[in-house]
Amino acid sequence: MADKIARLTVDGLDGTIELPVYSGTEGPDVIDVRPLTGKGLFTYDPASCLRRPVNHR
C-alpha cells in the first residue's frame, strides 16, 4: 500500500491520474508511474539517453 498519492492532471484527459508514492528507508520518496500506461501514457527521461552502456567483461 502506498504511503501517499500524487495526483496528475493532463490536458485532454478527463479527471486525474492517481500515482502511488512510496517512502523507502533511505533517500527521497518515489512515484510509481505504472498507472500511466493504463491511460495510454508513458514516461520520458531525456537524461537516460546520456548514460553510457555498461561494459561487461
Give the model confidence (pLDDT) of 12-52 as tens digits. 999 999 999 999 899 999 999 999 999 999 998 887 777 66
Is 43 inside a domain boundary? yes
Strand partners, 54: none
Of 4 and 51, the structure prediction assigns the larger pLDDT to: 4
Count of the separate structural domains present in the chain: 1
What CATH number is attached to the domain comprising 24?
Answer: 2.20.28.60
Q: Which range marks the domain in which residue 16 is found?
A: 4-50
Is 35 inside a domain boundary? yes
For the chain, the straight-line distance linking the first and the last C-alpha, in angstroms and rounded, comes to: 40
Q: How many angstroms separate the most distant Cα atoms in the chain?
A: 50
Report field, pTM of the whole predicted structure over 0.85: no
Is 55 inside a domain boundary? no
pLDDT category at 57 given cuts 50, 70, 90 is low
DSSP letter (8 states) at residue 54: P
User: What amino acid occupies position 54?
Assistant: V
pLDDT category at 9 given cuts 50, 70, 90 is very high
Is 33 inside a domain boundary? yes
